């Protein structure tokens, strides 16, 4: 496997030389990105010090840490232990910053912190990179406005840059048209500073880290069917938190193990929250040899060891109900589907079009360049397998999950696959190539506490 940056400033590329020999070993993956964002934000809201271990140190989480720092939280990182101490602003609330807040590539940073700033004192202007500046924000801006938030920005406040002027909010009962954990989190965090109660109802369950982590931090959250409710005035307590490995990152190594003949890979201490584990359920339905051994809970989050071995696969149909629990894993599942017998169909996944890239279009283009039989649908993908994959140069458009998915495709291709836009991978999984390399030599890797 070689990584090359053709010239300074140019998008980097990685070449994966398939077909790969068996992948074997035990690997740890970086801390869960969604939980890391929330742990930092809850630490900032609390009065006092929180010690967070196993933090994800990808660019997205670092963007949250930097914004929280500008807002007056003290965030100290001890890199070798992936440990972060956060001293929150508590009752004082965030400072009014003296500059624009940059959420970089991170929708979670932006949407969650809009909810926090909506109830603060001062003006807060957010921007982000070229991808985030194209992503839809009306879904979070309109319900926050309905709570009394003053938000203005480009395209009537539906696109970055956005300015929030903190104000007093009133609780709201809001029904989301599309399941979104980011929007749900923004509303619940705004609701903690609003008069009365705030409830969010979703059409299907999205990841529930915020609800679990609020409860673990001493804030009661009412949960009934698809509705989560908080009362205004809830105080977040500081505390120690251990962050499990990210199942969304583990997905790439587990999928690689399933696809590459003779492989056997174990990922310990990874989050297996059912609202995130749709990937494991779909792999099992495809006939994959995948085992999950639960190992208790860390701060309300289920954790376990996942083992995957190379397997013969059959195509499956994945429908809208299951999509929120595997939305970030659909690109890698699309690669897995190229090896499954028959048709694999992903429907009800139109949200993929508004992620870091239009993941339906990017994956369809990448897989078809590799010779897969793939069709882009308005709300998903149809893939027929098994098809051999051929050597090619493919473009991830800088989207981290697309880049890693196409690199895994390279492991089963008949020759080298070059992935453009590789530097996006540091968004969520710094060290991805080292982890894959360790498995290729049958070792172990990853150093999480």
Q: Using the minimum distance from each CB to ligand S3P, give the nearer residue, 206 or 396.
A: 206
Q: Using the minimum distance from each CB to ligand S3P, give the nearer residue, 41 or 439.
A: 41
Shortest spacing between CB 330 and ligand S3P, in angstroms: 10
Shortest spacing between CB 393 and ligand S3P, in angstroms: 27
Active-site option among 32, 208, 328, 395: 328
Question: CA 161, 162, 167: angle at the middle one, nearest 5?
Answer: 165
State the CB neighbour count (10 A cutoff) for residue 22: 16
Q: Residues near 130 by Cβ (< 8 Å), separated by ≥ 6?
A: none
Q: Using the minimum distance from each CB to ligand S3P, give the nearer residue, 206 or 263.
A: 206
* Site of interaction with ligand S3P (CB under 6 A): 34, 37, 108, 180-183, 185, 206-207, 327-328, 351
Shortest spacing between CB 245 and ligand S3P, in angstroms: 15
Handedness of CA 272, 274, 276, 279 (dihedral sign): positive
Q: Residues near 142 by Cβ (< 8 Å), separated by ≥ 6?
A: none
Q: Are 343 and 371 in contact (CB under 8 A)?
A: no
Q: Does residue 423 have an active-site annotation?
A: no
Shortest spacing between CB 121 and ligand S3P, in angstroms: 26
DSSP code, position 103: -
Question: CA 217, 220, 222: angle at the middle one, nearest 5?
Answer: 135
Q: Using the minimum distance from each CB to ligand S3P, give the nearer residue, 14 or 206.
A: 206
Q: Residues near 203 by Cβ (< 8 Å), separated by ≥ 6?
A: 176, 177, 178, 179, 226
Shortest spacing between CB 328 and ligand S3P, in angstroms: 5
Q: Using the minimum distance from each CB to ligand S3P, give the nearer residue, 200 or 383.
A: 200
Peptide bond before residue 247 is cis, with ω within 30 degrees of 0: no
Catalytic residue list: 328
């Amino acid at each position: 496997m070689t990584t090359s940056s053709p010239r300074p400033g140019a998008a980097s590329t990685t070449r994966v030389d398939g077909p790969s020999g068996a992948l074997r070993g035990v690997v740890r993956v970086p801390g869960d990105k969604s939980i890391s964002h929330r742990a930092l934000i809850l630490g900032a809201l609390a009065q006092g010090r929180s010690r967070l271990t196993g933090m994800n140190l990808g660019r997205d989480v670092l963007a949250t840490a930097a914004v929280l720092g500008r807002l007056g939280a003290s965030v100290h990182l001890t890199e070798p232990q992936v440990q972060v101490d956060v001293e929150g602003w508590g009752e004082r609330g965030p400072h009014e910053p003296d500059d624009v807040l940059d959420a970089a590539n991170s929708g979670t940073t932006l949407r969650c912190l809009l909810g926090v700033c909506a109830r603060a004192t001062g003006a807060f202007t957010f921007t982000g990179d070229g991808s985030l500046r194209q992503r839809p924000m009306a879904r979070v801006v309109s319900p926050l406005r309905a709570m009394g938030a003053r938000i203005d920005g480009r395209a009537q406040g539906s696109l970055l840059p956005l300015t929030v002027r903190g104000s007093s909010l009133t609780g709201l009962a809001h029904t989301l048209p599309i399941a979104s954990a980011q929007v749900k989190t923004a509303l619940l965090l705004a609701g903690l500073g609003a008069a009365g109660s705030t409830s969010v109802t979703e059409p299907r369950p999205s990841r529930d880290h915020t609800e679990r982590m609020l409860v673990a931090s001493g804030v009661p959250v009412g949960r009934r069917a698809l509705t989560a409710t908080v009362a205004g005035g809830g105080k977040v307590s500081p505390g120690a938190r251990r962050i499990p490995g990210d199942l969304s990152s583990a997905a790439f190594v587990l999928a690689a193990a399933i696809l590459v003949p003779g492989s056997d890979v174990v990922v310990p201490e990874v989050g297996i929250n059912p609202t995130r584990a749709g990937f494991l359920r779909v792999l099992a339905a495809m006939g994959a040899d995948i085992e999950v051994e639960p190992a208790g809970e860390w701060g309300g989050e289920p954790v376990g060891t996942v083992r995957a071995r190379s397997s013969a696969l059959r195509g499956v149909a994945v429908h809208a109900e299951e999509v929120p629990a595997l939305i970030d894993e659909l690109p890698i599942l699309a690669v897995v589907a190229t090896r499954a017998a028959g048709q694999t169909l992903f429907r009800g996944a139109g949200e993929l079009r508004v992620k870091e890239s239009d993941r339906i279009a990017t994956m369809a283009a990448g897989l078809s360049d590799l010779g897969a039989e793939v069709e882009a649908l308005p709300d998903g993908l149809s893939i027929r397998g098994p098809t051999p994959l051929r050597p090619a140069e493919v473009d991830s458009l800088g989207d981290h999950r697309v880049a890693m998915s196409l690199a895994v495709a390279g492991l089963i291709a008949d020759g080298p696959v070059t992935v453009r836009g590789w530097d996006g991978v540091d968004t969520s999984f710094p060290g991805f190539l080292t982890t894959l390399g360790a498995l290729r030599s049958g070792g172990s890797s990853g150093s999480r506490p």
